[in-house]
């Protein structure tokens, strides 16, 4: 008569719980990645808003006006000539500032979205660490 190798119920239960936790972590990672993708899509839409003609100030070049824009940069016309800046980091890094309320609100919202992305990426990292730990216990 062949003997069946039977795992104790507690060990089987522990394994099932581990698998459930791993599935939950993977689901969380997938949802977080969808959140990041949605935020990036919102940010992309924010960058195509027409900001031509808005007055800006640069610490070195002084007052200027936005005279050109594309998806990644703007051109600002100063008395000393035109200069190109990366958007939106030119405002975040302190190169440019503006008194335009609507643009400042959009830039503030963009920064909030960047913080959401960082927080969500931290959550993904935590879920990946949890999966690694759970899988290592097998």
Q: Answer positive or negative: Cα dihedral of 9, 14, 17, 23.
A: negative
Is residue 3 pLDDT above 60, yes or no? no
SS3 state at 62: strand
| CATH architecture type of domain 52-99 | Roll (2.30)
Query: What's the pLDDT at 22?
Result: 95
Is residue 2 pLDDT above 80, yes or no? no
pLDDT, tens digit, 9 for 90 and up, residues 9-56: 788 888 999 999 999 999 999 999 999 999 999 988 887 788 999 999
Query: What's the pLDDT at 14?
Result: 87
Q: Which residues pair with residue 55 across a beta bridge?
A: 65
């Amino acid at each position: 008569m062949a003997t069946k190798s039977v795992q104790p119920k507690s060990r089987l239960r522990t394994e099932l719980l581990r698998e459930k936790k791993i599935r939950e972590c993977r689901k969380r990672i997938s949802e977080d990645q969808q959140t990041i993708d949605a935020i990036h899509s919102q940010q992309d839409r924010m960058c195509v808003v027409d900001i031509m003609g808005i007055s800006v100030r640069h610490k070195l070049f002084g007052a200027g006006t936005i005279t050109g824009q594309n998806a990644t940069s703007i051109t600002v016309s100063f008395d000393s000539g035109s200069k190109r800046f990366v958007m939106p980091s030119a405002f975040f890094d302190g190169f440019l500032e503006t008194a335009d309320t609507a643009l400042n609100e959009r830039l503030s919202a963009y920064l909030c979205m960047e913080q959401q992305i960082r927080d969500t990426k931290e959550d993904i990292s935590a879920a990946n660490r949890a999966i690694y730990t759970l899988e290592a216990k097998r």
